[in-house]
Amino acid sequence: MTATAAHDSGTAAMAALIGRVREVKLLESTASVLGWDQETMMPEGGVEWRSAQLAHLARLSHQTFTSTQTGDLIAAAMDAVAGLPEDHPDRVDVREIDRDWRKATRLPEALVSELAELSSKAMHEWAAARQANDFPRFQPWLERTVELNRQKAECLGWPAGGEPWDALADSYEPGLAAVEMQAVFEPLRKRLQGLLDRLRGAPRRPSNGFNEHALALADQERFVKFVARRIGFDFSRGRLDRSTHPFCGGSHCNDVRMTTRYLETCVLDALGSTMHEAGHGMYEQGLSAERIGLPMGEAAGLSVHESQSRLWENQVGRSRAFWTWAQGQLPAFFGEACDRFSLQDLVDGANVVEPGFIRVEADEGTYNMHVMIRFELERAMIKGDLKVADLPGVWNGLYKDFLGLTVPDDRRGCLQDVHWSMGAIGYFPTYTLGTLLAAQLFEKARTDLPGLEEGFTRGDFSPLLGWLRKNVHAEGRRHRLDGLCRKVTGKPLSADPLMRHLEGKLLPLYGLA
């Protein structure tokens, strides 16, 4: 074959593979929008048919992607890109498509379809059970979810010396293992516990008044949409709606669907949730439009995704610089309703540390304790060491052990999160990994962008978003978590930046520095 013919053959192989993968992504993104609709607008009576729709789409996308023809296209494309640098976009796309294909071919079509149908129904039952504080209603659905995820883990397999949870976690953070996560959690818990012990005996107690101040929900909604737009979320390519549990979904970078929730007595709940989801949404909007449906047009994994949401929620949204600007915006949305609160009151409210029952309402000091608890529980359920029927009691015991709390009911206990009803077992640790990366990225951004936080006081967040676009969003799936962290910050992922962030802010706030 001549060089020209070989080049043409390689180009054709890449084009055919891209066409096949995008066909799969069309099906998957359609399912994503249907899932968003189920959580926001679908009438209750639509659950059965919606579950069948999602199962059908899952089956079709699985059939298309796992066919031998796809495997042949991957092999041909790998030959075509073999001479390119390892970090070349085309080579990254083929490498990651091959990885996804190998995983997908291990899963039986019937299992994929059943998981999709089950998750749609289970999410509906979870929402009803949560509202009614009725764990027995949700129990059989969670039992079936755990059983199917055990089957999924067996099909996927895990490295020698590992455990079934590892196979599930790999779908959210490639290569993540339970023993490695435990090695992160154990020392982090000790460091966080030491900080919390110091805060409990502090000479100053930040004011919590702003977190208990009633504000009209319609005004809150206008305010949080304004903030989301100001920090950089493009509403011409996305939207914000309401749901029981805040999330970010959609189909591609030009159609991003976010949701939040509102509490009349705590605008900071809606604001924090919205800035969190906007972080996800801006990451999605920052991905390559030219590579929609391809790995270089997708996020680097759930931990990196969570780093974007946690950074905007915490490093930005809880900062004094942010509230210096935001205080001046409040009258336009709430009239005189917030006039009695000083800047210090607002900063206090955003940063007060108070162990609570609800993860999505947790302060920065206690948040990761919630994640550790869920990691222990889902790991035990998948290993078979914890029966689903015993989940409420064990959950409550861990909350007493980790946070010193007596959980009053299952609605504020094991029924609070949507993830297990979705079948997303192995997801929770990405919140902590993302929190660690967020702190490390922000430290680097402050070094690279002199005057960054001073800009926040004027409502200028564009330098930070631009820095993230260049260093994180544009990288697609080129790097894994630690590889991206090393490339951007020059150091491996560490808990040190997070602890510097927390101690540097909370100790002065509590009169300890």
Question: Could you give the residue ranges of the DSSP H alpha helices within 311-428?
Answer: 320-327, 330-334, 343-351, 367-383, 391-403
> CA-to-CA distance for 230 and 334, rounded, in angstroms?
18
Are residues 306 and 435 in contact, defined by beta-carbon separation less than 8 angstroms? yes
**pLDDT for position 7:** 52
Q: What is the token pair recorded at 414?
A: 């094991």
Can you give the C-alpha Rg of the chain in angstroms? 23
The matching CATH number, chosen from 3.40.630.10, 1.10.1370.30, 3.40.50.970, 1.10.10.1800, for 178-509 is 1.10.1370.30
State the pLDDT at residue 61: 96
Q: What DSSP line would sit under 335-360, residue for residue?
A: TTTTTT--HHHHHHHHH-----S-GG
440 contacts 489 by C-beta, under 8 angstroms: yes
Would you state the pLDDT for residue 251?
83
Q: Residue 257: left if φ>0, alpha if ψ -120 to 50, beta else—which one?
A: beta
What pLDDT, on the 0 to 100 scale, is given for residue 282? 98
Is residue 385 within 8 A of residue 139, CB to CB? The reply is no
What's at 512, amino acid-wise? L
Cα 289 to Cα 291: distance, rounded to the nearest angstrom: 5
pLDDT recorded at residue 5? 46
Contact 81, 52 (CB under 8 A): no
Give CA angle at 356 (351, 360), nearest 5°. 75
Q: Residue 250 has what pLDDT?
A: 83
443 is catalytic: no
Report d(CA 227, CA 231) in Å as an integer: 6
Catalytic residue among 117, 277, 313, 361: 277
Q: 400 to each of 396, 403, 455, how far by Cα in Å?
A: 6, 6, 42
> pLDDT value at position 249?
87
Separation CA 491–CA 482 (nearest Å): 9
* pLDDT number for residue 215: 96
Task: Measure the CA–CA gap between 3 and 7, rounded to whole angstroms.
Answer: 6
Number of helices and strands in the chain (H, E): 21, 3
Q: Where are the domains of the chain?
A: 3-157, 178-509
Q: Which whole-number Å values give the CA distances from 490 to 135, 438, 494, 498, in the listed order? A: 47, 14, 12, 16
Name the stretches of the chain with pLDDT < 70.
Answer: 1-10
Q: Residue 202 has which token pair?
A: 């502090």
Could you tell me the two tokens for 239?
């939207």
**What does the pLDDT read at residue 8?**
54
Q: How far apart are the first and last CA of the chain?
A: 73
pLDDT of residue 3: 46
Q: Which DSSP state fits 294?
A: S
- Whether residue 424 contacts residue 152, with contact meaning beta carbons closer than 8 Å, is answered with no
Cα 507 to Cα 440: distance, rounded to the nearest angstrom: 19
